[in-house]
Amino acid sequence: MSTRQVAPVNAGFESLKQTNEHNAEYWSARDLQPMLGYSQWRRFEQAIERAIASCEASGNNPQNHFAGAGKMVGLGSGSQRPVDDYHLSRFACYLIAQNGDPRKPEIAHAQQYFAVQTRRQELSEQATADVERLELRKQTAEEFKALSGAAQDAGVQSKMFGVFHDAGYKGLYGGLGRDAIKQRKTTPEKDNLLDRMNATELAANQFRMTQTRDKLAQGVNTQTQAIQTHEQVGKEVRNAIKRIGGTLPENIPPAEHIKNVEKRIKQATPKLTLDEREAGGLLGGKKKS
C-alpha cells in the first residue's frame, strides 16, 4: 500500500505565511505549490488562473489578492535564477484550493480545511460539522470515479464493477457487502450508501479507495486480481481501525441524508462580500480603487 503522507494543512499552510510592506499577510505561490501536490508549475499556474476568474466572478478585485512577483531559486551549481511567482492573499489561497485538482489528496485536504475555516466564525458548530461532512462526501464521490477508472485500467469489465466495489465494502465491513450493510443499518434501498455515512465513516471509505487505487497501479492487470486487491485493502483499513480502538464502520449508525445537510448549508448562506481587511487582501485594510 502507498506510504505517501499528506502533512496537516493547518500547520503547513500557516507556517508559509509572510508579511508585506502593507503589513498584510501573504503566501508565495511557489512555496504553496508542493504543499498542494503539484510537481509542475505549469499545472499549478492553471489552477491559479481559474482562481483569479473565480475571484472576479465573486465580485472581488483580483489585484487585491493575486500579485505577480518574481522569486530567486537555487540551481545545482550554487547559482540562482529568477522564476515567476505570485503573492497570494488568504482568500486567494482558498480559491486556489477550490479550483485545484480534487483527485490530489493535498487539494482534498486543503478544500476541507478552507471550507471549515472560512465559515467557522459565521456558522454554528453544527453547521461547521455539516460543511466538513459535505466536503468529505464530495471528495469521496470524486475518489469513487477515479477508483472506477483505475479498476477499468486494471482489467475490470463494466459489468463487474458492482462486484469490484462490493469487494471493498466486504473487506472494510467484515464480510458485509453493500446490500447487507444497508440491511444492518436499516438504510432505505433507494439511498446511496455513501450519502448516509457520517464524516468518520466517509473518511474510512475514502482512505480505502485511495489506497486501492494506488495498489492497482502497482502492476495489477487482471479482473480477479483487482477484486481481490480491493477486498484485501478494505481488510487492512479495518484492521487499522481495530488497532487504534476505533468504531468499526458497520457499528456506526446511519447519518442524516447528505441532501438535507446540503440544503441546510445553502440556507445558511455565507457572506459573499468580504470584510474590509479581507477585501483589501495584499493591501491590508486599504481597498484599491
Question: What are the boundaries of each domain within the chain?
Answer: 9-118, 125-267
- Per-residue pLDDT, averaged over 14-19, amounts to 90
Task: Report the 10 Å Cβ neighbour count for 81.
Answer: 9
Q: How far is it, in rounded angstroms, from Cα 176 to Cα 184?
A: 9
Residue 238 CA to residue 253 CA, distance in Å, equals: 17
245 pLDDT tier (thresholds 50, 70, 90): very high
pLDDT at 119 over 60: no
User: How far apart, in whole angstroms, are the C-alpha atoms of residue 196 and residue 221?
Assistant: 33
Banded model confidence at residue 158, pLDDT cuts 50, 70, 90: very high
Judged against a pLDDT cut of 60, whether residue 65 lies above it is answered with: yes
**Is the CA virtual torsion 211, 214, 217, 219 positive or negative?**
negative
Which residue did the predictor score with more confidence, 232 or 98? 232
Instruction: Return d(Cα 77, Cα 80) in angstroms, integer.
Output: 8
Q: Which three cell numbers stand for residue 34?
A: 508542493
The mean per-residue pLDDT over the stretch 217-230 comes to 96
Distances 178 to 31, 37, 211 between C-alpha atoms, Å: 43, 32, 19
141-148 long-range contacts, Cβ below 8 Å, gap at least 24? 141/194, 142/102, 142/103, 142/108, 143/103, 143/206, 143/209, 143/210, 143/213, 144/194, 144/209, 146/103, 146/209, 146/213, 147/209, 147/212, 147/213
Query: What one-character-per-residue DSSP string does 26-71 give?
Result: EEEHHHHHHHTT-S-HHHHHHHHHHHHHHHHHTT--GGGTEEEEEE
Residues facing residue 88 across a β-bridge: 27, 66
More confident residue, 81 or 149: 149
What is residue 4's predicted lDDT score, i.e. its pLDDT?
43
pTM as predicted: 0.58
Q: CA-to-CA distance for 111 and 140, rounded, in angstroms?
A: 13
The secondary structure of 230-273 as a DSSP string is HHHHHHHHHHHHHHTTPPPGGGSPPPPPHHHHHHHHHHSPPPSS
The pLDDT score that the predictor gives to residue 286 is 54
Percent above pLDDT 90 for the chain:
57
Which residue type sits at 72?
M
What whole-number percentage of the chain has pLDDT above 70?
83
Cα 20 from Cα 49, distance rounded (Å) = 22
Query: Could you tell me the pLDDT band of residue 49, with boundaries at 50, 70 and 90?
Result: very high
Average pLDDT over residues 53-57: 86
- The SS3 call for residue 19 is strand
